[in-house]
Amino acid sequence: MISNEAAVVILKKKQATSLRSGKMSRLWSDIKRNRVSYLFLAPFLLLFSFFTIMPIVISVFLSFTYYNILQPAKFIGLSNYRLLFVDDDIFLQAVGITLKFAFITGPVGYVMAFLLAWLISQIPIKYRFFYTLCFYTPSITSAVAMSVVWVYIFAGDRKGLLNYHATKLGIIDEPYLFLQNINSIVPVIIIVSLWMSMGVGFLAFLAGLQNVPKDLYEAGSIDGVKYRWQELWYITIPSVKPQLLFGAVLQVVVSLTVFDVSVQLVGLPSPLYAGHTILVHLYDYAFIRFEMGYASAIAIVLFCMMMGLNRLIFNILGRD
Amino acid sequence: MRSNLDSPEALKAFKMWTGLFTNFKIQKQADFYNRFRSGEMPIGVADYSTYLLLSTAAPELTGWWGMKPMPGIEQPDGKINRATGGLGQTGIIFESSKHQDKAWEFLKWWTGADAQERFSSELEALIGVEARWNTANIEALERLPWQKADIDAILEQWDWFKEREIVLGGYYTTRHVANIWNEIVLNGKNTREAVEEGVKEINKELRKKREEFGITDTLDNSMDKGEGK
Amino acid sequence: MTSTVRSKLRIDYSSLFLYVFLTAFGLLMLAPLVYMASTALKPVSELFLFPPRFFVVNPTLINFRDLLLVTGTSIVPFTRYVLNSLIITSGIVVGGVFISAMAAYPLAKHNMPFKKTIFDMVVAALMFSPLVLQIPQYMLISRTGLMNSYFAMILPYLAAPIGMFLMTQFLRQIPDALLEAARIDGASEWKVFRVIIMPMLKPAIATFALFSFIQAWNDPYPAMVYTTYEDMKSLPLAILTISGGAGVVARVGTFAAASFLMIIPTIIVFVVTQRMVLQTMAHSGLKE
């Protein structure tokens, strides 16, 4: 026979385990109940884990090693990170440059893409197609064709478009090297980036704006909405919140990963590292200096920066 | 292993080079091919692709222009030093390869005069004069259908060919030479200051790379300066 | 769309301004496309001019003729590259659309444990620089013996975070009541997905299909990294090998012609998908 105290202890233990197994079993039955959902998710998650998550994990591991791609990786602990923050002046310069870009091209590009999408959605349907094509063209044409046009505009040659007209008008008397003078490199890259910022976000805005039910507008005009901007602020924007969120996240990613524009226009490395964004720095270390471990560390730092900005965006625009 | 760019000769060279732009106001950037065609720039120093451009894409100039060895600096003994660098490519055989002998045979064959000449003539037959192959094999070079005057100029220049050593971290040299130029010409910095800053960076990278690959700098060679000028 | 309470004069001014602004800006944006088209038609004497000419003075088809000649002398017939690119690109686009839509549905409309975590994880993956992932991805593919197969070039790009993210957001715009009604009527989840979700996702599908197509069609990196056999290479890689690279004079015109031809399927896909998007969704499907 068990004594009273022992019985109490045994009973208490039983309650505790059944509570724990209650939670677990509730979770498990939750999962089983929703197994259809998981089935839907399965193909995506499987491929995603193998081809994206695993490489990310490997990269994280690589960031704690010295890896020159040709020889096996050697573990060196936090050394990469220490060097990155303490000793690497160029990295700090790159962070400054990237943030400068991001703070201008991010919001401005975002608002531009949305405004253009909204303006186009105000036009009768049959003309919309032409304008959408016009503004989406930068994403379709190859980077090479674009860089030719831009290099021509900003060329330091006397016959470069801007220099030519500026000399003609008497503003300057010898050509200004837009693409090599450190003071002008950042503005040039910002301008070209903005020009190229009608990407997926722009298309998503357009598509989302189509989806807003017309009854809302009719109801609005009955309720006294008179001007287009009122309609925009009170009706349209709330209805496309999900697309706004999508565009914002993408804009954060795009503006912090400026790479092609900088390399095509001012070269790698840029004069005095004036166009050296974080991603250019990463590329430099990974593929020119063959220090892949260090580059992985840079990627992780960049990733954390983007996650931070992302949190901010989710808080401002609301999660859902 | 240190960069030799802060030696007095290098400093003089920098001063002369940047002086062309700051004092003599030579165009900092100009598309030579187009200026040559229009007659604005009757003389210039350019690379192989410009030669091809002028030969093929400037038909109105045929017979009116020629290629000559580089202008140089007169030396105390009267000869003109036309030293200039060029592009080099290398073939490698990996130590861990299982086909080292076969690879060696292949490389020998590929860089030999016959293969190079055949490659170049076939390329030219298919594509045209624009695709003339600038082979590094002098024998093959001489067998190709160049204009006599041009090939003579190339061969004379070849005597003066001198390229800097390729060292670990050497890519930093080109980078910082461009940066130094930028500082002096576009930002008005003092030549000596700019050169010293650039050299400091180059040395840092050279040292870092040598440590990385375990090449210890003994007292003998730590003060070795690069020979390329 | 809504210009109800306004005087006629007001309407004309604002619309006029709108049109002028959009047209001017739009034509400016078209410049590179025009430039590409005209460069493809330039003879050698005009290809290297600086300042570059926007409109070719002596148009010629010689570059296109050279392109055909080039393709005649390569080991593998040119059509093979086109076929490879078509297979790879359509695999990525079609597969990607389905897989992303299937993943977006439960994440937007179902309640399941770990929903938020999974969603956040996928969006977070967007932020990891693809440059750094190239090497680990290569290691994975070569170790699993997938090299030189179509799978190597399609599979890594099927689970695109952008696709799932885009479709999830679009699904959030669709009212739940619609789905509830269908479920009450006895439809299985798969049926709901097929009959209601997919048609309503048309704008998102079209947008993602276009974006995915452009990426996959123009991307030489999968072929560069995952294939060693000549007959598995894709079109963009083959075209890269036509020109000799920067600074080489030969075949610049041919390269321009090839690049221009590469754009044409893109524009066709653009037309098709944008038509799908521009079909207005007249109503949300609910009766008040």
The shortest CB-CB distance from C249 to any of B31, B59, B130 is to B130
- Token pair belonging to C110: 């179902």
For residue C255, list chain B residues with Cβ-Cβ distance below 8 A. none
Query: Is residue B93 a part of any domain in this protein?
Result: no
Q: Which domains does chain C have, with CATH numbers?
A: 74-251+263-278 (1.10.3720.10)
The residues near A59 (Cβ < 8 Å, ≥ 6 apart) are A296, A299, A300, C128, C132, C133, C136
Q: Which of C63, A177, C60, C243 is nearest to B49 (CA)?
A: C243
For residue A156, list chain B residues with Cβ-Cβ distance below 8 A. 28-29
The residues near A134 (Cβ < 8 Å, ≥ 6 apart) are C25, C26, C27, C29, C30
Closest residue, chain A, to B175 (C-alpha): A269
Of A137-146, A149-158, B112-121, C79-88, minimum mean pLDDT range? A137-146
Query: Is residue A208 a part of any domain in this protein?
Result: yes
Helix (H) or strand (E) holding A95: helix A89-121
Residues C104-162: tens digit of each pLDDT = 888 888 888 888 888 888 888 888 888 888 888 888 888 888 888 888 889 988 888 98
Query: Is residue A1 a part of any domain in this protein?
Result: no
Confirm if A203 and A209 have CB atoms less than 8 A apart.
Answer: no
Q: Which of B26, B97, B179, B201 to mutate to test the interface with A (most CBs of A within 10 A)?
A: B179
Is B228 buried (19+), middle (13-18) or exposed (0-12) by CB count in 10 A? middle
Please indicate, yes or no, whether residues B18 and B131 belong to a single structural domain of this protein.
no
Is A230 buried (19+), middle (13-18) or exposed (0-12) by CB count in 10 A? middle
pLDDT at residue C253 greater than cutoff 60: yes
Query: Is residue A264 a part of any domain in this protein?
Result: yes
Q: pLDDT band for A12, please (50, 70, 90 cuts).
A: low
Mean pLDDT, chain C, rounded, equals 81
Q: How many residues does chain B have?
A: 229
Q: Which of C2, C144, C259 to mutate to test the interface with A (most CBs of A within 10 A)?
A: C2
Give the per-residue pLDDT at B100: 87
Record: contact B175-A180, CB cut-off 8 A: no
Q: pLDDT band for B144, please (50, 70, 90 cuts).
A: confident
For residue C207, list chain A residues with Cβ-Cβ distance below 8 A. 200, 203-204, 207
The residues near A239 (Cβ < 8 Å, ≥ 6 apart) are A211, A212, A213, A216, C173
Query: Is residue A33 a part of any domain in this protein?
Result: no
Specify the residue for token string 């894409």.
B57
For residue B128, list chain C residues with Cβ-Cβ distance below 8 A. 250
Mean pLDDT of C183-210: 85
Give the per-residue pLDDT at C280: 47
Cα distances (angstroms) measured from residue B17 to each of A226, B81, C98 = 68, 16, 62
Cα distances (angstroms) measured from residue B158 to each of A45, B86, B141, B153 = 61, 10, 12, 9
Mean pLDDT of A264-288: 86
For residue C47, list chain B residues with Cβ-Cβ distance below 8 A. 57
pLDDT at residue C1 greater than cutoff 60: no
For residue B59, list chain C residues with Cβ-Cβ distance below 8 A. 45
Number of domains, chain B = 2
User: What 3-state class would DSSP assign to C93?
Assistant: helix
Give the per-residue pLDDT at C213: 92
C neighbours by CB contacts (3+ pairs under 8 Å): A, B
Closest residue, chain A, to C236 (C-alpha): A142
Record: contact B56-C47, CB cut-off 8 A: no
Residues B66-81: tens digit of each pLDDT = 888 888 888 877 777 7
Q: pLDDT band for C9, please (50, 70, 90 cuts).
A: very low
Query: Is residue B17 a part of any domain in this protein?
Result: yes
Residues C37-56: tens digit of each pLDDT = 888 888 887 888 877 777 88
Residues C52-103: tens digit of each pLDDT = 777 888 888 888 888 877 777 667 777 888 889 999 999 999 999 999 998 8
- The neighbouring-strand residues paired with B161 are B84
Q: What one-character-per-residue DSSP string does C39-76 give?
A: HHT--HHHHT-SSPPSS-SS--SHHHHHHHHHHHHSSS
For residue B54, list chain C residues with Cβ-Cβ distance below 8 A. none
For residue B175, list chain A residues with Cβ-Cβ distance below 8 A. 269
Of A302-311, B197-206, B213-222, C100-109, minimum mean pLDDT range? B213-222
Give the per-residue pLDDT at C195: 83
Measure in Å the smallest separation between the Cα of A212 and chain B Cα atoms. Answer: 53
pLDDT at residue B26 greater than cutoff 60: yes
Specify the residue for token string 């030669």.
B51
pLDDT at residue C226 greater than cutoff 70: yes
Query: Is residue B79 a part of any domain in this protein?
Result: no
Residue A109 vs residue A229, higher pLDDT: A109
> Which of B101-115, B206-220, C180-194 reaches the highest mean pLDDT?
B101-115
Q: pLDDT band for B224, please (50, 70, 90 cuts).
A: very low
Record: contact C33-A257, CB cut-off 8 A: no
Is B15 buried (19+), middle (13-18) or exposed (0-12) by CB count in 10 A? middle
Residues B161-191: tens digit of each pLDDT = 877 777 887 788 888 888 888 888 888 888 8
Query: Is residue A69 a part of any domain in this protein?
Result: no
Query: Is residue A261 a part of any domain in this protein?
Result: yes
Range of the domain at B125: 104-158
Closest residue, chain A, to C16 (C-alpha): A123
Record: contact A44-C99, CB cut-off 8 A: yes
Query: Is residue B80 a part of any domain in this protein?
Result: no
Write out residues 95-154 of B within 8 Å (CB-CB) of A. Answer: none
Measure in Å the smallest separation between the Cα of B183 and chain A Cα atoms. Answer: 8
Record: contact A226-C5, CB cut-off 8 A: yes
Please indicate, yes or no, whether residues B208 and B179 belong to a single structural domain of this protein.
yes
Confirm if A145 and A138 have CB atoms less than 8 A apart.
Answer: no
Q: Which of A35, A30, A241 is nearest to C106 (CA)?
A: A35
The shortest CB-CB distance from C102 to any of A40, A246, A292 is to A40
The shortest CB-CB distance from B171 to any of A175, A272, A288 is to A288
Range of the domain at A172: 81-317
Please indicate, yes or no, whether residues B181 and B134 belong to a single structural domain of this protein.
no
Express the helix, strand and coil content of chain C in percent, nearest 5 each.
70, 0, 30
Helix (H) or strand (E) holding A65: strand A65-66
User: C interface toward B at CB cutoff 8 Å?
Assistant: 44-45, 47-50, 73, 244, 247-251
Record: contact C251-B131, CB cut-off 8 A: yes
Closest residue, chain A, to B209 (C-alpha): A289
Question: A305: domain CATH number?
Answer: 1.10.3720.10
Please indicate, yes or no, whether residues B140 and B185 belong to a single structural domain of this protein.
no
Number of domains, chain A = 1
Record: contact B179-A156, CB cut-off 8 A: no
pLDDT at residue C3 greater than cutoff 70: no
Record: contact C170-A203, CB cut-off 8 A: no
Residue B59 has what DSSP assignment? G
Region of B39 please: left (phi>0), alpha (psi -120 to 50) or beta. left
Give the per-residue pLDDT at C288: 34
Query: Is residue B41 a part of any domain in this protein?
Result: yes
What is the predicted ipTM? 0.81
Closest residue, chain C, to A242 (C-alpha): C169
Record: contact C249-B33, CB cut-off 8 A: no
Please indicate, yes or no, whether residues B65 and B111 belong to a single structural domain of this protein.
no
For residue C136, list chain A residues with Cβ-Cβ distance below 8 A. 54-56, 58-59, 62
Of A63-67, A121-125, B119-123, C247-251, minimum mean pLDDT range? C247-251
Record: contact A272-B182, CB cut-off 8 A: yes
Record: contact C159-A132, CB cut-off 8 A: no
Neighbours of B216 (CB within 10 A): 8
Measure in Å the smallest separation between the Cα of B128 and chain C Cα atoms. Answer: 8
The shortest CB-CB distance from B57 to any of C48, C244, C247 is to C48
**Total CB pairs under 8 A between chain A and B:** 38
Record: contact A155-B30, CB cut-off 8 A: no
Give the per-residue pLDDT at C246: 61
pLDDT at residue B52 greater than cutoff 90: no
φ/ψ (deg, to 5) at C74: -85, 165
Confirm if A212 and A236 have CB atoms less than 8 A apart.
Answer: yes
Q: pLDDT band for B226, please (50, 70, 90 cuts).
A: very low
Query: Is residue B144 a part of any domain in this protein?
Result: yes
Cα distances (angstroms) measured from residue B225 to each of A214, B12, B202, B218, C288 = 77, 17, 12, 14, 86
Neighbours of C184 (CB within 10 A): 8
Q: Are strands B80-81 and A65-66 parallel, antiparallel or unpaired?
A: unpaired
pLDDT at residue C252 greater than cutoff 90: no
User: A interface toward B at CB cutoff 8 Å?
Assistant: 66, 155-159, 174-175, 177, 180-182, 269, 271-273, 288-289
Mean pLDDT, chain A, rounded, equals 83
